[in-house]
Structure 1
């Protein structure tokens, strides 16, 4: 973002007079966004209830969960959950709060890939609040066990996916891992006598998933991971099918045989290098050497090559959703390790490799998250296989790294395009890479579609509109004194488009029960709006040092994105 700060500097002198409409439009969007979010948010506390959608919808949501997140992060023992699920629907007594909390979180996560409009968002938020209330009850210690830990993990996944205070997952993950250590999950089950095969493998699976949640939250928050390989001896999960865990004399399947645990096992092998990257980026001791970047890059690429070889060696049909997810996550790490050296690469050839790695990885990451087919431009290309549709829905509806990673990548691509234009010395028209231009257009489309399906933060779309306009002005050779007018006009148009989406949504919620917080909000806009220009500040924030000239646009916060 610091490399795009000149956009703000160009606009700033004109905002007092010519840009007043821009500031008012932004404030209106923020006000409506807060109002919409308040309308969705239940009043705390929210006691858990037996209220559920129809069984057909619940069946579909459970299937959505099991064909996506459970394939990557093993949390539940699928046969046990399905057995309890059938008993739940066939019984007149549905008042087991422990199972209800777990079920409602599964349903909430399933909402993210249920349809093209995230039509059940409010229901998902309600379920998350109910589960949070139940987990917050004072009987904490008495409940400690595998089911409680599963529910705790599901809650963090649901909050991250649906954006319910998702920026605080790093803090919650600290509680989660300490709970697991208190229960002894950091010690391998062979150290604990008289454990059944089922208990042993569930402990390994849950510890493996907890490590992933803590590491991912570190990458998203910019906070230290507070995990060390030396502090646990729990082995990775064994290659068991879920059905085999209840048979004491069963043996794990060969490594090349695909089971429901295979992806988690294969992905665990990349954990040490990904943890090293998070420590390198977020260590409070300061940024490490560039030589260490090169070493980590080589380790990650070698580890990922081995992962791909393992996954591609499974018999057909290959696990398509899992491949998309793993590719997306690994590229996120690769992009992050080189991003700090992207800016310096324009001044020093020492970092030329990082510039090449950033551009190449950013394009591939954005292509992985592409929402529409290049030719049709539709929301979802219906010729895609179902796993690809599920993944595309996550990049639009999902919060956290699903949303931020492709958006950050697209801004890096924009910086590369801008630098290529400024470095052009020929007299003829500027020739730019079509794939880079396509990334920019896709990112703008994606940002708007996020708002259309319920996102209330317009800043990603607004700033992407400004970046695209600046690049267009540079390509056309627009005089500098005219660029500010183009940018202000682009901002006004972007805000008008967002207002046309947010206003009907806020009005629709007026007929429903609205929280006291909304009812007490002022109906007039505050006169001082400059400080609200904290662009790109989603639930996960950045740390921008030495950026006083653009403080009206970029807010300061404790931790920054890597």
Structure 2
């Protein structure tokens, strides 16, 4: 009988200790007996406009799982720059606070464990066994250690994360890595087909659009949708495919798609037009990218026009590329298409000349100048400007092979003019290198420890020639080289940003974020003082300032974007959000310059990525503001001009510039569509329309505008050149008919895994 009673008691203990698996679905999905995606809010509650609530038991289970797996990092920023700078000086918490925590830890750990062994089980009335005591002690220790770690992390105002001593073995090493004082996310690297997009590439800034996608995503046509929404979804899918195939027609007519090589000697424009283009290049670009010695170039330029056939290949391509780069600022629409075609052919011819088997005559300073001009021409004229980082590898190695990474003082027999040209070229190569690495999301090809070349001298070009034996340098007056010297001095901070963000083993800490932000901000403020004042052309000064500011400020945008995205979960990231907003608006609306505006609307590479990064940053901030506004007082919402209105105006300007880029030949339609969707989410509801229907309608209107814009650029001959297997045929009414299958709205928004190399679902 005693044995039976004991067996019954053991069975009761096991029955009591067996716990039901905690529910992970929300209350509404459990009631409807549908699968919950466990998001906040979940997909079903979002579509049905229901309140998404998770039970306390489920929430506690989720928090316990997150506390075990997620790294316990403290936000990297505080509310004000002064608070952030003060926090850097304090790297250890107050010792008295540690003693207080130690006393609390001892009292909370010892008393429950000591009493647990002496207390009988409430159900069975018997004392627990030794094995049960050990298991209970381990569970209690684990819970209290986690509580202590969270308290320690919150108690250290100057540290980013709690430093934890790694234990022995693989698990200890893993915990040490997860607890590192890092604010960067090294997992943000996307591999699509043949290309790797690193952390600073714009494809890693699409997280905020996932919430918009969840609101609009429908795997199939939902039977609960109204007939109006069903029709809009089908129309969007057709329009998106139509834009894609029209863009293929434009790309198919480009010279890079032809098998035969272009003529190496395209027709020259009139000399008056060429003179204007060359002067535009010298006055605008040469202040930042010092490639040529201006008096020597004009001498070669006049010689080239007297007898083009007698000039060497390096002189020919130098003159042609200078004219082509100057044409990127040309705003006269008369014969612009024919001139643009000739300029593009010069770019292709220079690329073919440099891509041929290397000869000794190309491994020289003039050959390196052609390479630098080609990099700049490809971006200003949108000729393959999105793959500059690959070409920069060749440019950097060519410069090093020529010895430009060693200061000319090492070569005693070199003239002062040649020494200055080499210093200027090396500074230009390094500037192009950091810009290409930022756009490609890749580490720079070289570090500060790999060269000892000094900055160029602060002199005007007219003050130095082949006969100069002594340079009288001044550091007060702005000269032709002052702006390049200033950018070269700001090279260290930008190289450090690239190393920490795009490197594999490096981690970005809070102190480094503050230091680098301060350096770049100070450089942006001091930029204007290094611009040479012109008495005749104020447009020239504004252009130089805007170009230099673009090369500096966009590093702030890339540095703080990952941190600003966390502003949805914690207000401690407000400083990063403020830096991102200020940088984005400054890049979107720089001081008025018609030449600079024309360049950023038609260029690629640096200029195209500026548009994408700024648009995504402003749209993301607007989405965060929409969510935060829901809990704001009514008095703030009714103000005629508040923060949300400022963001909406900025996003509208970004959408306007995106539409203008399409008129200059841009085939990307998704950026304009996404900005339209975000704006529709921020606008007031139209009577009789739901929020989802309003957002889908805005996407349809955007695609219709983009389709008409691209179709206006596409000739009938371009359409007929498309392949038959692309399923395009011209209908009787002049419209394009497509037989492709339906697309999912999640693919349209491109927030899931996407194919960034192209095909049907290319991003931007």
Same fold (TM over 0.5): yes
Contact 2:220 2:744 in 1 (8 A): no
Give the secondary structure class of the aligned counterpart of 2:446. Answer: coil
Number of equivalences: 522
Which deviates more, 438-447 or 99-108?
A: 99-108
> Which position in structure 1 is the counterpart of 2:269?
53
Matches within 5 A, 1:381-400: 388-400=593-605
The answer to whether structure 1 residue 235 and structure 2 residue 454 are counterparts is yes
Q: Distance in 2 between matches of 1:59 and 1:505?
A: 29
Flag the 1:532–1:89 CA change in 2: closer, same or farther, 3 A: farther
> Which position in structure 2 is the counterpart of 1:219?
438
The answer for unaligned runs of 5 or more in structure 1 is 370-383, 538-546
Matches within 5 A, 1:325-404: 325-368=547-590, 388-404=593-609
Contact 2:281 2:323 in 1 (8 A): yes
Displacement of 1:92: 6.4
Displacement of 1:345: 2.1
Give the secondary structure class of the aligned counterpart of 2:309. Answer: coil
Q: Distance in 2 between matches of 1:496 and 1:26?
A: 9
Contact 2:303 2:311 in 1 (8 A): no
Flag the 1:536–1:103 CA change in 2: closer, same or farther, 3 A: farther
Flag the 1:335–1:522 CA change in 2: closer, same or farther, 3 A: same
Matches within 5 A, 1:23-102: 23-42=237-256, 43=258, 44-49=260-265, 51-91=267-307, 93=309, 96-102=312-318
TM superposition score normalised by structure 1: 0.85
Displacement of 1:15: 7.0
Q: Distance in 2 between matches of 1:536 and 1:268?
A: 40
Equivalent position to 2:620, from 397, 415, 422: 415
The answer for unaligned runs of 5 or more in structure 2 is 1-205, 222-229, 730-737
Equivalent position to 1:488, from 672, 683, 696: 696
Q: Distance in 2 between matches of 1:196 and 1:522?
A: 64
TM superposition score normalised by structure 2: 0.64
Displacement of 1:471: 1.6
Contact 1:22 1:491 in 2 (8 A): yes
Equivalent position to 2:674, from 460, 463, 475: 463
The answer to whether structure 1 residue 523 and structure 2 residue 714 are counterparts is no
Matches within 5 A, 1:473-512: 475-476=684-685, 482-507=690-715, 510=718
Q: Distance in 1 between matches of 2:724 and 2:367?
A: 37
Displacement of 1:482: 2.0
Q: Distance in 1 between matches of 2:524 and 2:714?
A: 45
Flag the 1:393–1:49 CA change in 2: closer, same or farther, 3 A: same
Equivalent position to 2:400, from 150, 174, 181: 181
Displacement of 1:533: 7.5
Q: Distance in 1 between matches of 2:468 and 2:361?
A: 28
> Which position in structure 1 is the counterpart of 2:389?
170
Q: Distance in 2 between matches of 1:456 and 1:146?
A: 37
Which deviates more, 389-398 or 280-289?
A: 280-289
Flag the 1:311–1:108 CA change in 2: closer, same or farther, 3 A: closer
The answer to whether structure 1 residue 267 and structure 2 residue 487 are counterparts is yes
Q: Distance in 2 between matches of 1:250 and 1:198?
A: 10
Contact 2:499 2:506 in 1 (8 A): no
Q: Distance in 2 between matches of 1:216 and 1:358?
A: 18
Displacement of 1:532: 11
Q: Distance in 2 between matches of 1:274 and 1:531?
A: 40
Contact 2:389 2:433 in 1 (8 A): yes
Contact 2:601 2:657 in 1 (8 A): yes
Contact 2:527 2:545 in 1 (8 A): no
Contact 1:50 1:95 in 2 (8 A): no
Flag the 1:504–1:173 CA change in 2: closer, same or farther, 3 A: same
Flag the 1:181–1:529 CA change in 2: closer, same or farther, 3 A: farther
Displacement of 1:520: 7.7
Contact 1:332 1:405 in 2 (8 A): yes
Q: Distance in 1 between matches of 2:248 and 2:757?
A: 20
Flag the 1:276–1:92 CA change in 2: closer, same or farther, 3 A: closer
Q: Distance in 1 between matches of 2:595 and 2:543?
A: 8
Flag the 1:345–1:287 CA change in 2: closer, same or farther, 3 A: farther
> Which position in structure 1 is the counterpart of 2:216?
11
Q: Distance in 2 between matches of 1:91 and 1:532?
A: 59
> Which position in structure 1 is the counterpart of 2:657?
446
Q: Distance in 2 between matches of 1:486 and 1:14?
A: 19
> Which position in structure 2 is the counterpart of 1:160?
379
Displacement of 1:150: 0.3
Equivalent position to 2:499, from 271, 275, 279: 279
Deviations 1:504-554 (A, max 9, x none): 32126549xx9x7768855354624638977799xxxxxxxxx6xx336x7
Flag the 1:457–1:175 CA change in 2: closer, same or farther, 3 A: same
Question: CA RMSD for the aligned pairs?
Answer: 2.9
Give the secondary structure class of the aligned counterpart of 1:368. Answer: coil
Give the secondary structure class of the aligned counterpart of 1:170. Answer: helix
Which entry has the higher C-alpha Rg, 1 or 2?
2
Deviations 1:164-183 (A, max 9, x none): 22221111101110111111
Displacement of 1:310: 4.2
Q: Distance in 1 between matches of 2:511 and 2:400?
A: 35
Contact 1:225 1:279 in 2 (8 A): yes
> Which position in structure 2 is the counterpart of 1:544?
none
Higher relative contact order (CA 8 A, sep 6+): 1
Displacement of 1:478: 8.3
Contact 2:443 2:503 in 1 (8 A): yes
Flag the 1:55–1:535 CA change in 2: closer, same or farther, 3 A: farther
Contact 1:27 1:532 in 2 (8 A): no
Q: Distance in 2 between matches of 1:14 and 1:483?
A: 19
